[in-house]
Amino acid sequence: MRLRNLRMHPFGNSHKTIKSYLSCLRSFVAYEKPKHPREVTTDELKQYLLYLIEEKKIAASTVNQVFNALRFLYVDLYEKPFVIGKLPRPQKERKLPDVLNEEEVMRIFGAVTNLKHRTMLMLAYASGLRVSELVRLRIEDIDGTRNLIHIRDAKGKKDRYTVFPQSLLAQLITYWKTYKLGTRGWLFPGEKVDKHLAARSIQAVLTRAIRASGITKPVSMHSLRHSFATHLLEHGTDLRYIQALLGHQSVRTTEVYPVRYRFN
């Protein structure tokens, strides 16, 4: 199977994952050229990963991504599970997330004058949303009566519910009326109403707000999600409940937040 045909393959991987796999496999094919990937031995696969780790100094998370791409190629496509049975796999670094305190969060909101952009940042923080989830929200996903947001087709292709705080209702209604939105469709449309706003656009807004507010921490949209989880913990919210809100498959992923809190 040619690499370009991966996009049409029926396995349940997201577009983003397939795009990542394609990039990893193109680099692998170029490295092994002129040998066809089917002819690559286990030892040669190991040597390639060791080359990435020891010579290219690639981050462990990236090497693991390459590992997953190779496993997909050999196990799922070539049906040769024995080929990658004993490949080296580095441990991912356990880095604490960058977290804003509540005063810094309010400074960021105050630095954004555009109603749409400020509403997006406030909602991302108040509901612990990934930026991909934020931009793909639809009007019908907001349940103001039950104070819930329905997150559809999230990471791992799973739906979940997260909180929609009543404190944000007036802000959202003002935004909805100002932009004359209907009862269905994208909550945050782009220039064309049938397309949602691009994730990079709201990230650029946050970057400008960080600069304007004088915050020197390395902050991204994901930092708002980290801050949401940390602040819930600081206010005594149960870890398992936070896990469910964030959509973490394992509580271990969520446990990084109390580690940060204890040593802050």
From 225, 235, 260, 261, active-site residue: 225
92 included as an active-site residue: no
Residue 64: CB atoms within 10 Å: 16
155 is catalytic: yes
Which of 117, 130, 136, 231 is the catalytic position? 130
Told to judge if 257 belongs to the known catalytic residues of this protein, a careful annotator would answer yes
Classified as helix, coil or strand, 150 is: strand
The answer to whether residues 16 and 130 touch, using CB atoms and an 8 Å cutoff, is no
Which candidate in 155, 160, 161, 260 is catalytic? 155
Eight-class DSSP state of 52? I
94: left (phi over 0), alpha (psi -120 to 50) or beta: beta
Q: Which residues of 198-211 are buried (b: 16+ CB within 10 A; e: fewer)?
A: ebeebeebbeebbe
**Choice among 107, 150, 222, 260 that is catalytic:** 222
196 is catalytic: no
Please give the structure tokens belonging to residue 206. Answer: 């946050």
| 130 included as an active-site residue | yes
Q: Tell me the catalytic residues.
A: 130, 155, 222, 225, 248, 257
